Amino acid sequence: MRFDSAAAWAPDVGPTGLAMLENKAVISVDQDGVAAGRIVDSGNGQVFSKRESDGDYVIALYNTSATATTTVSVPLSAAGISGSVTATNLWTGASAGSPCRCRGSLAAPVLHRQ
């Protein structure tokens, strides 16, 4: 009998799941050992933030609805950020613009590094 350990923890994740598992920017946020705190809890809209040991801020916007798109926004000051910042969407690698407003109409999570 042959046992494949990769199949045991990630059975048939599909292209979206595989992209998440291979996204080094997202994995680094998860593996940095710094816990995030919830700063917005508005029904289906959830926002978590943290400041990493290198000084970067990470803000994660979530839509917890299984069926509906929701708009989630947060003032940067709620994450402890003042002034104008430039952000990167860690899922896509695209610039989130400057100044970043951390707002989105979401069907899926958005993760920014500032």
- Structural domains of the chain ordered from first start: 5-113 (2.60.40.1180)
Rounded CA gap, 17 and 22, in Å? 9
The whole-number pLDDT of residue 3 equals 41
> Is 82:99 a contact under the CB 8 Å cutoff?
no
47 Cβ contact partners less than 8 Å away, ≥ 6 residues apart: 38, 39, 40, 59, 60, 61, 62, 72, 74, 78, 102
pLDDT of res. 37: 93
Instruction: Determine the average pLDDT of the residues in 78-85.
Output: 83
Q: State which H helix or E strand residue 37 sits in.
A: strand 37-42
**Choice between 50 and 111, residue whose per-residue pLDDT is larger:** 50
Q: With 70 as the cut, is the pLDDT of residue 111 above it?
A: no
Q: Which two tokens stand for residue 2?
A: 């042959």
Per-residue confidence (pLDDT) for residue 1, from 0 to 100: 37
Q: Which of 95, 93, 94 is nearest to 85 (CA)?
A: 95
Q: Is the pTM of this model over 0.85?
A: no
Return the pLDDT at 109.
54
DSSP SS3 for 34: coil
